[in-house]
A and B are shown apart, each in its own frame.
Chain A
Amino acid sequence: MSAVEVAAVEEEDDLRRVIDDDGKVISGASVPKISDEQLHKLFDTMLMVRIIDDRMMRIQRQGKLGFYMKSLGEEATHLSVFPLRDDDWVYPSYREQGAWFWRGLTIEQFLNQLFGNKHDPTKGRQMPVHHSANWLNCVSISSPVGTQIPQAVGTAMGMKASGTDQVAMTFFGEGTSSTGEFHVGMNFAGVSKAPCVFVIRNNGWAISTGTEKQTAAKSFASKAVGYGMPGIRVDGNDILAVIQVANEAVARARRGEGPTLIECVTYRVEGHSSSDDPSVYRNPAEPEAWGPRDPLNRLRGYLKGKRLWTEGMEKDISDRYNDEISKYLKLAEEHGEPDVETLFDDVYQDLPWHLKEQKEYLLSQARTKNPHLHN
């Protein structure tokens, strides 16, 4: 098969789907093998993301958090990480909370990072939702978009050169496909056959810029043609289809057959971030139209069909997470600020003389009260 044939882009009606809006398996669709236990875990994770997103945006609105980004409606796309092993690598964008939780980030670590407090794993260095977890092989989130793409490719190339069968996966929005980093990253991956999976969350909006302003291409997946790799469009609100496609792409990378571009077609139901108000640039009927395609509801429907869901079970999960969030939220607010002594750490492996001098000066002065801190 030639590279171009491999890269043939599926037609609109070939958008990969497994379940319909009610969670019923579409006639003729093959269903990925997922154990009941894993199905529960998927539901659990998606519900948890929804709960924590809602709670965090509320406390952001209360003025307790500087910034937050929700992912309402896009939770299924996060679980593209489902087929990855612990030793694989993930280069997330900023809207894949579910990927972090699936890999093992705890609510406690997540909240401490948002507050940039004493126990923040990133020591108060990064703005909220910019997590970093080397123990999960999840790399620090970057504010400039797309920069993680060539980095993920470099990690994939490095692992390939080292002779392992590890895989790197990177996430980004459809707007990011307009950047130079997308082009160079995809091109390097294609040329080097890097074991890398690119997941585009096409959620329709890059802040206020719609998809028609991002590309004249027929689809975002079709861009794969130019890089000699397969491009697959999948219903990003259909968790089973997302996992099916991710399974195929990860297996392909692991077999040494090279990278895959996945376009998850989904929808950003709310604003870009806590700093955004979508009502000023889009018709409110648009998010409403996506309501019936809600990914959590579709999974719920599928679980009901398999007699794996009850109202009581969902309530138990909700209660458990709400309690856990309340507990760690209180602690996150009480932990206090990072020690000023740590301010000069980690700029270099060893503290240079001028930073020693600046540190000595800082510690000799009275502390300024944090104007953003309550109490």
Chain B
Amino acid sequence: MPIISYREALNAALREEMQRDETVFLMGEEVGHYQGAYKVSQGLLEEFSERRVVDTPIAELGFSGVGVGAAMVGLRPVIEFMSFNFSLVAIDQIINHAAKMYQMSAGQFHIPMVFRGPSGPAVQVGAQHSQSFESYYCYVPGLKVVCPSTPADAKGLLKTAIRDDNPVVFMESELLYNSTGEVPEGEHLVPFGKAEIKRAGKEVTLIAWSKMVEVVLEAATELEALGIDAEVLDPRSLRPLDIDSMVESVKKTGRCVIVEVGWSMCGLGAEIAFQLQRECLDYLDAPVERVTSDDVPMPYAKNLEQEVMPQVKDIVAAVKHVLYLD
């Protein structure tokens, strides 16, 4: 199986889906001639022409609304946000229109559309470029939300997202674009609502998605050296959320730490913890613990930024806590 980067995996998914289905097109700032701010759309303009790789004026509100309108007439737009931080100026089109049109029109108009781009902290880009908004979008019925953590998942989930008849918010991680891994060639679809165990273990369940999976796996290696056998579970799609797999894992381990790079208040981890206590309270040997970013806008200075985000040491500490080893 070829080893390619997360960026190349996304590119392959876009290319294959555009080859497969004439109605799929990519639209956003810098996606064509510049080949994408993060080069995810490398080579697509040459292959598919300006008709299907559309460079737009600098206006997220504009191309999000234009995408909703294009979806209305049978096209399947893939909208690229240069950063999900900028999706906020288009959020009315995502939440009030893309997500609700199908229901408000009583099934008359469906919006098969993907909003994609990098999300979460990168490296020293400050308060307005470092946010994780998956909890915002997960809140909204009508949307699906996906956060791939590996190149293989990036490809398989993006292909599934493009084929889905509902609007999908597809959040990539800027910090993962260069990460590499084995990715199946050609038809490789990862279903939504199906978590994957990224590392099997028996003593504690660590739940994480996107970039945090990498950090959690590093923590698991460190825990192994301490004699603690951690299982790492990645839900991959956050809406729909595969609660059954989480429950199954926690029933086995009896302990759980949820790690997310977003803020704690109203974060998705809170919903997961609620579902776990509802489904398997009697199996829990300790309260579910969460590791999140500190509740501050992201600072610029490197040392401060590092402290805000969940780090390996924080995860190790949380695991020791649920094992009553601290």
Residues of A bordering B, CB below 8 Å:
89, 91, 120-123, 125-126, 130, 132-134, 139-140, 142-144, 147, 149-159, 161-162, 168, 180-181, 183-185, 187-188, 191, 345-349, 352-354
Contacts and interface: CB of A to CB of B under 8 A. Distances in A.
Contacts of A161: 25, 51-52, 75
B93 interface: yes
A123 B73 contact: no
Interface stretch (B58-66, B248-256, B315-323): B58-66
Contact of A133 (B64, B107, B108): B108
B321 to A, nearest CB: 30
16 contacts: A89-B72, A125-B103, A134-B109, A139-B72, A139-B109, A140-B109, A142-B97, A147-B65, A150-B61, A150-B66, A154-B66, A158-B69, A162-B73, A184-B61, A346-B106, A354-B240
Given A125-B103, A188-B56, A155 B73 contact: yes
Contacts of B104: 122, 125-126, 130, 132, 140
B69 A123 contact: no
Interface in B98-135: 101-110
Interface string B16-29: 00000000010000
B287 interface: no
Given A120-B106, A185-B62, 9 more contacts: A130-B104, A132-B105, A139-B109, A147-B92, A156-B69, A180-B61, A191-B57, A347-B142, A349-B166
Nearest to A168: B69
B224 interface: no
B151 interface: no
B62 A187 contact: yes
Interface residues of B, number: 44
A116 to B, nearest CB: 11
Of residues B96, B97, B105, B108, which shows the largest number of chain A Cβ atoms within 10 Å of its Cβ?
B105
Contacts, number: 141
Please provide the 5 A-B residue pairs with the shortest distance between their CB atoms, ordered closest to farther.
A154-B69, A150-B65, A184-B62, A154-B66, A151-B69
A158 B70 contact: yes
B102 A188 contact: no
Nearest to B244: A353
A37 B297 CA distance: 66
A44 B97 CA distance: 34
B93 A147 contact: yes
Contacts of B74: 158
B291 to A, nearest CB: 26
B65 A185 contact: yes
Interface in B65-86: 65-75, 77
Contact of B110 (A130, A157, A349): A349
Contacts of B144: 348
A188 B61 contact: no
Nearest to B97: A147
A144 B92 CA distance: 9
A154 B103 contact: no
Given A147-B93, A187-B57, A346 B65 contact: no
Contacts of A125: 103-106
